[in-house]
Chain A
Amino acid sequence: MNAPVNPASDAWTTPLDQLDPSHPARFQDHSMWPYFERLRREAPVHHSTTSPLFGPYWSVTKYKDIMAVEVNHRQFSSDSGHGGISIRDRPKDLRLPMFIAMDPPRHDEQRKVVQPIVAPGNLAKLEGIIRERAGRILDGLPRGETFNWVEHVSIELTVQMLATLFDFPFEDRRKLSFWSDCATAVPEAGGFIDSEEKREQVFAECLAYFTELWNQRVNAEPRPDLISMLAHGEATRTMSPREYLGNLILLIVGGNDTTRNSISGGVLFLNQTPGEYAKLRANPGLIESMVPEIIRYQTPLAHMRRTAVEDVELGGQRIRAGDKVVMWYISGNRDPEAIEEPERFIIDRKRPRQHLSFGFGIHRCVGNRLAELQLKILWEEILRRFERVEVVGEPKRVFSSFIHGITDLPVRIPA
């Protein structure tokens, strides 16, 4: 069950060497902000040794230091063999190889197999499909009653998209969000995934389902869906089942959680800043710059992790070979030295895409423009239909320091 954590007020009084911003409970109750603010001010590259869940790790909390780690993939490895890309070390025998958790050259080869799915021509083709579906989802929403926006809109739109990218049986599409949630669930949260064994059982079901799809696609002509691309790709067609599973989980989580939580976040932020909502209604052209601002402000993945493969100096600190290094995107995106008035949600920022939410360097989110496209179309269709989507209760958030997400957002669309 949830381990007790100190309240937010302790952020400024706890001795620096005992500070640990990583506890999932902090991200659920949003008490993590002052911890990051203090670290940015007093110890931008900080070593924590007191985490009960994750062991010793470095926190990198300023924008420019995060960028330095991002572009230095030679010294800061993503390889699953070193522990991969999230703060939690999975047991060695349960680690999942996937291209986000590989270094060059294997990373490059595998990423290039799936990359064409988000090429400009393909995105143009997807635009009509997204618009039609977004419209249908919005038209089906109740008026004048309270419902959960996350469940009815955010999840539904993203799984429909993902089902299309995989050419996955449409009627089974909710399996995708189920697998995604299982993959990222924190066992200490006390939810359905309460152990790694349970998670492995779900993974086995997922792999079995997708193996059938692989077998269909590998025996057919290559088609522009992700399974067919993996089954026919030079660098992926001889993957082990475990590696196939790893890459599937990567694509499922990558296409699910991030966009889902940005869709939910946008509704919340506009409700928290009525002035911005009014600006948007007066000028829907601002959707263009609002979308990256939503993605910055939400930061749907709170961090990515690297492992130093040799001793390296960063922000005046000596990081040793083998050390775990956590780049807190959620903190870098609130760094006043990189972003003007970062605490404010401003839908017409001048350089809205200068944020860390997609990462930078060779691992930069492959689906970033597709994510933006989904949000853009959804907001165009929302504005066309509804004067307001009102948040009528407190959001509930995910117990995780990796997925920065919203599970419940009670809203009401005036009748």
Chain B
Amino acid sequence: MPQVTYIEHDGTEHRIALEEGLSVMRGAVDNGVPGIDADCGGECACATCHVYVDEAWLAKTGAPGEQEASMLSFAATAQPNSRLSCQITMTPALDGLVVRLPEAQH
């Protein structure tokens, strides 16, 4: 299974194997990675599964869609490499993906 590395704001790393087709948000929530709230459960409607995609992976994860960009624009700590992790679906091409978590999800 492809793997994702989640790096918490304090630097703690979590490497999680994630089934293809699942979202990067799901991988964090189902495996108890702290720092992803995912209040809306993956509807792209709350911006509490915000992550920073490692620069090296940006081309592969692609750009946020319209709804996602609009939700992200209300995240206090958004940066150009911000994504909502519920909108990144695992594929073999994303094996090794690295995402960092913001200080807080609001």
List residues of A whose CB falls within 8 A of some B CB.
67, 70-71, 104, 108, 111-112, 115-116, 118-121, 123, 351, 353-354, 358, 360-362, 364, 366, 368-369
Question: Is A354 within 8 A of B40, CB to CB?
Answer: yes
Question: Is A120 within 8 A of B103, CB to CB?
Answer: yes
- Determine chain A's interface SS by DSSP, over half rule: helix
The reply on B37 being an interface residue by CB < 8 A is yes
User: A71-B67, A369-B104 known; A111 and B74 CB under 8 Å?
Assistant: yes
Question: Is A353 within 8 A of B39, CB to CB?
Answer: yes
User: A70-B45, A71-B43, A351-B41 known; A362 and B76 CB under 8 Å?
Assistant: no
Question: Is A118 within 8 A of B39, CB to CB?
Answer: no
Question: Is A67 within 8 A of B43, CB to CB?
Answer: yes
Give A122 Cβ to nearest chain B Cβ, in Å: 9
- Determine chain B's interface SS by DSSP, over half rule: loop
Question: Is B45 within 8 A of A360, CB to CB?
Answer: yes
Give A305 Cβ to nearest chain B Cβ, in Å: 18
Contacts of A116 in B (CB 8 A): 76
The 10 closest A-B pairs by CB, nearest first: A360-B45, A120-B104, A119-B76, A369-B106, A353-B39, A120-B103, A361-B45, A71-B45, A360-B40, A354-B41
Give B71 Cβ to nearest chain A Cβ, in Å: 7
Question: Is B40 within 8 A of A104, CB to CB?
Answer: no
How many A-B pairs with Cβ below 8 Å? 58
Q: For the complex, give the distance between the alpha carbons of A104 and B104 in Å.
A: 25
Question: Is A104 within 8 A of B70, CB to CB?
Answer: yes
List residues of B whose CB falls within 8 A of some A CB.
37, 39-41, 43-48, 67, 70-71, 73-74, 76-77, 102-104, 106
Q: For the complex, give the distance between the alpha carbons of A358 and B37 in Å.
A: 14
Q: Which residue of B lies closest to A364 (CB)?
A: B46
Which of B71, B77, B102, B103 is close to A362, meaning CB atoms less than 8 Å apart? B71
Question: Is B74 within 8 A of A115, CB to CB?
Answer: yes
Q: Which residue of A lies closest to B43 (CB)?
A: A67
User: A71-B67, A120-B104 known; A362 and B74 CB under 8 Å?
Assistant: yes
Q: For the complex, give the distance between the alpha carbons of A118 and B77 in Å.
A: 11
Which of A108, A360, A366 is close to B43, meaning CB atoms less than 8 Å apart? A360
Question: Is A108 within 8 A of B73, CB to CB?
Answer: yes
Q: For the complex, give the distance between the alpha carbons of A174 and B45 in Å.
A: 35
Question: Is A71 within 8 A of B76, CB to CB?
Answer: no
Contacts of B47 in A (CB 8 A): 364
User: A119-B77, A351-B41, A354-B39 known; A360 and B104 CB under 8 Å?
Assistant: no
User: A362-B71, A368-B106 known; A67 and B76 CB under 8 Å?
Assistant: no
Question: Is A353 within 8 A of B37, CB to CB?
Answer: yes
12 contacts across the A-B interface (CB closer than 8 A): A67-B40, A71-B43, A71-B44, A71-B45, A71-B67, A115-B74, A116-B76, A119-B76, A353-B37, A354-B41, A366-B74, A368-B106
Which of A67, A118, A119 is close to B45, meaning CB atoms less than 8 Å apart? A67
Contacts of A366 in B (CB 8 A): 74
Contacts of A369 in B (CB 8 A): 104, 106
Contacts of B43 in A (CB 8 A): 67, 71, 360
Question: Is B76 within 8 A of A118, CB to CB?
Answer: yes
Q: Which residue of A lies closest to B40 (CB)?
A: A360
Contacts of A123 in B (CB 8 A): 104, 106
Give B60 Cβ to nearest chain A Cβ, in Å: 26
Contacts of B40 in A (CB 8 A): 67, 354, 360
